[in-house]
Structure 1
Amino acid sequence: MTAGHFIFIPAVLLVGIVIGWILGSRAAMDAMRSQQKRADEKRR
């Protein structure tokens, strides 16, 4: 194992976590919006 692995592997993991965080937050926002739309339509 070279010294580059000690930088490369954590960097790749960090990038994966950031991408997952962004995609997860977008999915949660979309779910909240659709739930809100359904609740608004139900009230009418």
Structure 2
Amino acid sequence: MPQLPDPAVPFHPSEPSPGLVVVVLCAVLILAAFAFLLRTA
């Protein structure tokens, strides 16, 4: 049974799944944090 998106969260079918977007954003934030720490260390 497919999960329906939360009506309170705006979602455009043309974009990737919200879960994938969250994972990608988290990965980018983690990589940016590592780069910042390496440059300041």
Normalising to structure 1: TM-score of the pair? 0.57
For these two proteins, the number of residue pairs brought into alignment is: 30
Give the whole-Å Cα distance in 2 for the aligned partners of 1:39 and 1:24. 22
Report percent identity of matched pairs: 7
- Runs of 5+ consecutive residues of structure 1 not aligned to the other structure: 1-10
Q: Which residue of 1 aligns with 2:30?
A: 33
Pairwise CA RMSD: 2.4
Return the TM-score normalized by structure 2: 0.61
The higher relative CO (CA closer than 8 Å, separation ≥ 6) is in 2
Superposition pairs for residues 14-33 of structure 1, below 5 Å?
14=4, 20-33=17-30
Unaligned ranges ≥5, structure 2: 6-12
Which aligned runs of 4 or more in structure 1 are off by greater than 2 angstroms? none
How big is each residue's C-alpha offset from its partner over 1:1-44, in whole Å with a ceiling of 9 and x where there is no partner?
xxxxxxxxxx7xx46x5x71000000000000000000000001
